[in-house]
């Protein structure tokens, strides 16, 4: 089952035209209930969150009945994409302007509805495994130009396979979690030996990620045409990076401490059904992928992205980057198919990040490394006159994602993190 809400659908719930959570969205998240003193799964409509367990207890919806389902989206992911689509269709019916079931039940509304602005959103699901891809071709080209100036920007394998590495699932954190400045070894080009201490090149990475909702046992592969059946939806990802630590440690096996200290995700899971109207073909792949990675139709998504930074001295955030998910060379379905192509098992709740999504212009670079071009072009904070080449303690990074429809927009919430000093 696939269900796309009509673009002209109207809800009885009143919300502004520019709401990120119109009836066309219906995302899934987890909030902290003060009354019940615990985390609860929810959806969002306009300016309100809606407790899914209270709707289920009233008999209006079917929701997975398990311990995991009461405290996270784990139970919902476990039942698979078809059931998630069915639940989303039922919620649409309840919110649609001509449906009186919930509209006329003011007692249930008073219990189940809460103001999103006041809500404490939680980590939405248990991350079983975390993989970070490198599918932003403009980012990969920029990094190649910086660090391999005498060679082609892209290595020979880049256009043949989705490059990635297995990250650390245990350090994926909820939006709003403070990020401690990591420590590690660094070595300057003229230093005789490395030193240990806090990173001096703290960075963000503008990424999107998808979440799996189907198990694939060890030894099995996933066909490219079936890959999306295992994808529940997308979240915003900020895969924080310590560039100086990374530079010293990444050869020959790739990132380790420079990446594993924290990864921030947004609180809302936006389903592929909600993103269906925003499908695009994506950029042309040259050479054509091998047969196991060859796609047809529109496997990419038109998702507008922006990054804002607010220093401890400024009163409001300043946008420093605008990009788009269409800047990915490899699609989510290709990424998942490639991950499973060697027979590795896929779990429900795996998180796969896209890699840094940079565009072609200077203001579309998805990291401080590129925006400041390795520290050579400081970014000015206009309100205070400060400059940044990399992130300093007290800086808050905000990543937003949005799909612009005809008369509505699909929002993802925010992935927010504030840098704090190293803790011993």
Which tokens sit at 351? 């998180």
- Containing 115, the helix (H) or strand (E) segment is strand 113-115
Residue pair 293/337 in contact (Cβ under 8 Å)? The answer is yes
Angle of CA points 240, 244, 248, to nearest 5°: 115
Task: Give first-to-last CA distance, the chain, whole Å.
Answer: 51
* CA-based nearest residue to 4, from 276, 231, 234: 276
* CA-based nearest residue to 402, from 299, 273, 306: 306
The active-site residue, picked from 106, 123, 138, 139, is 139
Query: DSSP 3-state helix, strand, coil percentages of the chain (rounded to 5)?
Result: 25, 30, 45
Residue pair 68/156 in contact (Cβ under 8 Å)? The answer is no
* CA-based nearest residue to 13, from 96, 90, 104: 96
* CA-based nearest residue to 411, from 399, 422, 403, 423: 403
- Containing 300, the helix (H) or strand (E) segment is strand 300-301
Residue 282: left if φ>0, alpha if ψ -120 to 50, beta else—which one? left
E strands in 213-291: 231-238, 241-242, 263-265, 270-271, 279-280
Tell me if residue 139 is catalytic: yes
| Beta-bridge partner residues of 231 | 212
DSSP secondary structure string for all residues of 130-176? EEEE--BHHHHHHHHHHH-TTS-SS-TTTTTS--EEE--GGGEEETT
* CA-based nearest residue to 325, from 206, 240, 238: 206
- Three-state DSSP state, 47: coil
Which tokens sit at 4? 């796309």
* CA-based nearest residue to 123, from 266, 271, 270: 266
Which amino acids are annotated catalytic?
Answer: 139
């Amino acid at each position: 089952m696939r269900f796309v809400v009509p673009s002209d659908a109207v809800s009885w719930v009143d919300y502004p035209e520019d709401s990120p959570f119109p009836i066309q969205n219906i995302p899934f998240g987890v909030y902290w209930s003060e009354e019940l003193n615990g985390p609860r799964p929810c959806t969002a409509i306009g300016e309100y969150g809606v407790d899914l367990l209270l709707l289920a207890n009233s008999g209006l919806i079917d929701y997975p009945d398990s311990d995991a389902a009461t405290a996270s989206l784990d139970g919902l992911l476990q039942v698979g994409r078809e059931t998630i689509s069915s639940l989303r269709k039922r919620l649409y019916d309840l919110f649609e302007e001509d449906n009186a079931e919930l509209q006329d039940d003011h007692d249930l509304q008073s219990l189940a509805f809460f103001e999103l602005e006041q809500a404490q959103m939680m980590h939405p699901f248990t991350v079983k495994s975390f993989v970070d891809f490198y599918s932003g071709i403009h980012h990969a080209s920029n990094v190649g130009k910086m660090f391999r100036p005498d060679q082609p920007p892209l290595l020979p394998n880049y256009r043949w396979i989705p490059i990635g590495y297995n990250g650390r699932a245990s350090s994926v954190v909820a939006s709003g979690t403070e990020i401690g400045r990591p420590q590690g070894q660094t070595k300057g080009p003229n230093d005789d030996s490395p030193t240990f201490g806090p990173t001096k090149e703290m960075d963000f990475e503008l990424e999107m990620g998808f979440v799996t909702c189907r198990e694939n046992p060890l030894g099995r592969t996933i066909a490219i045409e079936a890959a999306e059946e295992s994808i529940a939806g997308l979240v915003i990802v900020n895969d924080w990076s310590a560039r100086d630590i990374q530079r010293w440690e990444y050869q020959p096996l790739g990132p380790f401490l420079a990446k594993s200290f924290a990864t921030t995700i947004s609180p809302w899971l936006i389903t592929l059904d909600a993103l269906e109207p925003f499908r695009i073909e994506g950029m042309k792949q040259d050479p054509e992928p091998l047969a196991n990675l060859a796609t047809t139709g529109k496997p990419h998504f038109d998702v507008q992205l922006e990054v804002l930074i607010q220093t401890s001295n400024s009163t409001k955030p300043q946008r420093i980057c605008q990009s788009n998910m269409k800047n990915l060379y490899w699609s989510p379905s290709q990424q998942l198919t490639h991950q499973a192509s060697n027979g590795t098992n896929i779990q429900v709740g795996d998180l796969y990040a896209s890699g840094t999504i940079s565009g072609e212009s200077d203001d579309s670079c998805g990291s401080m490394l590129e925006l400041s071009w390795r520290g050579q072009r400081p970014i000015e904070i206009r309100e205070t006159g400060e400059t940044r080449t990399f992130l300093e303690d007290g800086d808050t990074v905000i990543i937003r994602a949005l799909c612009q429809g005809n008369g509505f927009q699909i929002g993802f919430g925010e992935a927010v993190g504030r840098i704090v000093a190293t803790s011993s």
